[in-house]
Amino acid sequence: MALALPLQLRDRLIVLTALGFLAALAVAWITTRHVVKPTEQLTAAAERMARGDLASPVGVAAEDEVGKLAESLDIMRQRLQAALEAIERTNRELESRVAERTARLGQLLRKTISAQEEERQRLARELHDETAQTLAALTIALDRARDGLDRATPRALEQIGLAKVIAERLLAETRRLILGLRPMVLDDLGLLPAIRWQCESYLGELGVEATIEGDPAAARLPGHIEVALFRIVQEAISNVARHAEAEHVRIGLARDGDTVTVTVADDGRGFDAERIGREPGHDERVGLIGMQERVALLGGRMEIRSGRGQGTEVVVEVPLAEEARA
């Protein structure tokens, strides 16, 4: 009986000790979760912010240091979100201003080129109506003067003949200048005949053979498109004449639905298109910039394929205006 009591007490102590240990574990687990869960939530919130999610709140409810840290992190999130929104607004405003100014520059450039073409046309008309007519009349007058001087000395007749040669040369140069300013064949017959004339005038003298392929569907185009494409081809032909040292040039004009494509390809020495595009001061670069500006004003695109000893190919694609679509 005396031994039974200590044994029962020992068993109770063991049970109480086990229960106490389990209770301690439960308290420790609850306490740990109370600390660890906010920390995990805080870590998840930081990872969301690192991925760029600034809209979701931190969402950690705690009254200890972790809660204060979460509150500070959420304040930082809100400030970052506000700063990002402000940057986005500023970027949108800047993009809008850039687009607006680009549009204004485009309009200004369009007006400048239009005014330039009008001035070219006016000068060509004045040269044709006044200077060329005057030179032609002077040539006729010199012929009549020479025919009417029966008793003139050979020296006088020679001087009159020389004056006529000079007048004829001035007349030819004036007519060439007129055609260079605004070829009447462009207004009267269209783009393809004007390109043929340009090749005969500038490449024929250099012995460069030109092959011109024209699509009947592109026989006549809106006036401003014809003028722009002619100036682009004119500059390309000028580059061939001055720099390419080519023997043959192929020019193609085609229309595919709402798009007109012009191709100018030569078998000349070619050039490094990237280097020319980077370095200022090259005649080719100035000409290419003018061509690109005209293409951009028409809403088209221009591609240049060239390399040393590989010739050059210029491809221009331009959408037709609404009134030309059929």
Q: What residues are paired with 131 via a beta bridge?
A: none
- Work out the number of other CB atoms within 10 angstroms of the CB of residue 186: 22
Task: Give average pLDDT by consecutive 10-residue segment, the chain, 326 residues.
Answer: 60 72 67 64 76 75 70 81 88 88 75 77 80 84 76 76 86 80 80 88 84 82 87 90 88 90 92 64 66 87 88 92 46
Residue 40 lies in a domain: no
CA dist 5 and 12 (Å) reads 11
Q: How many domains does the chain have?
A: 1
Whether the Cβ atoms of residue 174 and residue 131 lie closer than 8 Å to each other: yes
Q: What is the pLDDT of residue 140?
A: 85
Residue 236 lies in a domain: yes
Residue 64 lies in a domain: no
Q: What is the CATH number for 292? A: 3.30.565.10
Q: What is the pLDDT of residue 127?
A: 82
Residue 276 lies in a domain: yes
Residue 267 lies in a domain: yes
Structure tokens at 272: 């490094």
pTM: 0.59
Q: What is the pLDDT of residue 287?
A: 75
The whole domain housing 243 covers: 209-326
Structure tokens at 23: 């209770």
Q: What is the pLDDT of residue 63?
A: 63
Residue 87 lies in a domain: no
Residue 118 lies in a domain: no
CA dist 232 and 221 (Å) reads 15
Residue 217 lies in a domain: yes
